[in-house]
Amino acid sequence: MLENCYTETKIEYLKLLSDKFPTISDAATEIINLEAILSLPKGTEHFLTDIHGEYEAFQHVLRNASGVIKAKIDDVFENTISQQSKEELCMVIYYPEERLRQVVDTEIDIEKWYGMTLNQLIMICRAVSSKYTRSKVRKALPKDFSYIIEELLHESEAAPNKEEYYNAIISTIISIERADEFIIALCNLIQRFTIDSLHIVGDIYDRGPGAHIIMDRLLRYHSFDVQWGNHDMLWMGAACGNEACIANVVRICTRYANFESLEDGYGINMLPLARFAMDTYKDDPCTQFKPKLTAIEYKDKDIRLISQMHKAISIIQFKIEHEIITRHSEYNMDSRNLLHRVDYKRGVITINGTEYQLNDTHFPTINPNNPYMLTDDERMVIDKLIVSFAGSDKLHLHINCLFKKGSLYLKYNNNLLFHASIPMNEDGSFKEVAITNNRYSGKMLLDKIDKIARIAYYNRKPDERTNDYVDYMWYLWCGADSPLFDKDKMATFERYFIGDKSTHKEKKGFYYTIIEDIDTCKKVLTEFGLCGDNSHIINGHVPVKFSQGESPIKASGKRLVIDGGFSKAYQRETGIAGYTLIYNSFGLQMVQHQPFESTNKNSTSVRDIISTKFVVEQVTKRIKVRDTDIGLELQKQVKSLKELLFAYRNGVINEQHKQ
């Protein structure tokens, strides 16, 4: 009779499960283990967005866990050590290698300093690892010190039978000159345990100098995901070989005098563009194309060359974009074809019936009778850039990572993460967007776009569909119905060539206004299968103007916009230098950062980023692993194991005792 309770499929599944848990004891032990894990506090999630190549600030925020490590030191030591000692300990944890090099020269009694520091680090490490199972902690331990650290973490110095044992470990580490390596290992562990998972809500690339360094850091990171931003998609399109994406990537790098990622990071050869620009624009001051804010102080002649390169690639970009727009009438982007609207003799352009004076009238590569035709030299420049992008192993390593660990949106622990928007109509309905003779809206639109991006990159056999999808990668960068952009236009030409700033305005889609309504937020969340009071939309893309009184908390806390100006280019506008959203077992907190100066300055002067923390949402009952997405999966495993246990005990499946 009991056998009749099980379908053939269920029995086959339980037999497969019995291979891993062959006895009642094995299954019962795993149930006990999983139930214990479900009772632990949930891991701490950190959310960042719009990093835009600012690798030093990014790495510091990971090292200090957005101020969490400093708060943990305050909790552990309270008033038992001075504030200066706490700050010193912070810097040891953030930058152990740098601080160790300094203390060798500054500490009179280095062995005493080692002993004190090791004891303090072990106490902090115990505190930050306490919410994890021993198994998870063990897996994170460095191989060289795994056994020793595990002993120190799980033994109390106060235990009378263990005190000498504990002290002997510390003194031996110092006497055999392994203290430096041990301190570095402990500091890395503290950083690791303080952030359980990291979410990057788009735009790793452009503006700042170190997107490639950020990607290298993420490749080594223990747990992260990325929701693609429009700047990420631009680089992804460039890696697909899209000429317009490549031109835009190079243009933005020249605009911010940012060649570190292109040349040093990815080995992109900029010499052909430089030679072409010097020759073609040698008598052109290129005033409108001088690079924006940059950390490097260039000489005047270098600024002139970068400006010439900037103008040269911009004109090439406008011509190439015309080719895509002509191929795809469904993009409805003909208004972005502006070169044929210029009266080159009079130096004016007509847009929507209004005539505007151009502030730059030198166009040596444009034939007024065929303004979109690339010259042979321009064609040569873009062809060599295509080869350079295609041949960059480092670039493709990073783009593969974006596809493997990234997506257009993410549902995680009842939060909905996406970079910019969901195209919507004025009445609050989801806008239908035409893609390859079909129309998509809401969740189905984002799912379709996610699939398009993957096919465009991974399908190496060129065919009509793949070519269309590669073109669509550029549309995702700047198209009006792209959820990564969602503005009526990208006014690149106008910003360069027209002084009338009314032409520079980019009108945002309806999402950005109607999403301020809490009911619209709930509608979007429901579209993605999320509901409940503790569900939120988390966006970036649009910098929050804190200096003008704007708050990142929207729609009564239902939507959180966490772009606070990580990019230095936006910090005048925002008045701050970024946000971190933290979701731990006590609820949601927002951390507001002040500008970061430099790694070297912070690690030598014992100064930290000044951050202000405020509560977004506090729960009345501490959130456990049971309440998370991982918890749901674990509960399914417990259910299956209990079924296996029942099957063993009732003779449906026999135990597999080893002989």
Instruction: Work out the burial of residue 108: count CB atoms within 10 Å of its CB; fewer than 13 is exposed, 13-18 middle, 19 or more buried.
Output: exposed
pTM: 0.93
Q: Kindly give the parts of the chain with pLDDT less than 50.
A: 1-2, 157, 602-603, 606
371-386 pLDDT tens trace = 999 999 999 999 999 9
The reported pLDDT for the residue numbered 616 is 86
The reported pLDDT for the residue numbered 2 is 47
Q: Which residues contact 138 (CB under 8 A, 6 or more apart)?
A: 146, 150
The bridge status of strand 409-412 relative to strand 406-407 is unpaired
Question: Which residue, 474, 543, 537, 473, is CA-closest to 508?
Answer: 543
- The answer to whether the beta carbons of residues 273 and 385 sit under 8 Å apart is yes
Residue matched to tokens 């959130």? 623
The reported pLDDT for the residue numbered 607 is 59
| Complete DSSP assignment for 425-451 | -TTSPBPPEEETTEEE-HHHHHHHHHH
The bridge status of strand 224-227 relative to strand 342-343 is unpaired
- The answer to whether the beta carbons of residues 423 and 483 sit under 8 Å apart is yes
Tokens of 67: 């101020």
Phi and psi torsions of 579, nearest 5°: -125, 150
Quote the CA–CA distance of 281 and 274 in Å, as a whole number: 10
Residue matched to tokens 């966006």? 539
Quote the CA–CA distance of 406 and 383 in Å, as a whole number: 29
- The answer to whether the beta carbons of residues 240 and 456 sit under 8 Å apart is yes
- Domain regions of the chain by residue span: 2-40+635-649, 67-194, 233-400+439-496
Quote the CA–CA distance of 540 and 479 in Å, as a whole number: 18
CA distances from 585 to 72, 440, 627 (A): 15, 37, 10
Cβ count near 157 (within 10 Å): 14
Quote the CA–CA distance of 485 and 234 in Å, as a whole number: 11
Quote the CA–CA distance of 553 and 387 in Å, as a whole number: 45
Quote the CA–CA distance of 488 and 482 in Å, as a whole number: 10
- The answer to whether the beta carbons of residues 394 and 238 sit under 8 Å apart is no
Q: Which residues contact 302 (CB under 8 A, 6 or more apart)?
A: none
Quote the CA–CA distance of 594 and 598 in Å, as a whole number: 13
- Which of 99-103's residues contact partners 24+ apart within 8 Å by CB, and which partners? 99/603, 100/180, 100/183, 100/184, 102/604
Per-residue exposure over 282-308, b if at least 16 CB sit within 10 Å of its own CB, e if not = eebebebbebeebeeeeeeeebbbbbb
Per-residue exposure over 220-239, b if at least 16 CB sit within 10 Å of its own CB, e if not = eeeebbbbbbbbbbbbbbbb
Quote the CA–CA distance of 281 and 344 in Å, as a whole number: 17
- Which of 171-176's residues contact partners 24+ apart within 8 Å by CB, and which partners? 171/115, 173/118, 173/148, 174/111, 174/114, 174/115, 174/118
Residue matched to tokens 């000498």? 164
Question: Which residue, 69, 77, 499, 135, is CA-closest to 287?
Answer: 499
The reported pLDDT for the residue numbered 1 is 41
The reported pLDDT for the residue numbered 27 is 95
The reported pLDDT for the residue numbered 636 is 96
- The answer to whether the beta carbons of residues 229 and 420 sit under 8 Å apart is yes
Quote the CA–CA distance of 625 and 476 in Å, as a whole number: 37
Cβ count near 519 (within 10 Å): 11
**Sequence letter at residue 467:** N
Residue matched to tokens 């096919």? 455
- The answer to whether the beta carbons of residues 174 and 183 sit under 8 Å apart is no
Phi and psi torsions of 643, nearest 5°: -65, -40
- The answer to whether the beta carbons of residues 245 and 216 sit under 8 Å apart is no
Strand partners, 537: 416, 559
Quote the CA–CA distance of 593 and 565 in Å, as a whole number: 9
- The answer to whether the beta carbons of residues 190 and 93 sit under 8 Å apart is yes
Tokens of 105: 């020269």
Tokens of 488: 């009526």
The reported pLDDT for the residue numbered 293 is 65
DSSP state of 408: S
| Complete DSSP assignment for 322-381 | HHHHHH-GGG--GGG--GGGEETTTTEEEETTEEEEBS----TT-BTTBTTPPPHHHHHH
Quote the CA–CA distance of 140 and 15 in Å, as a whole number: 32
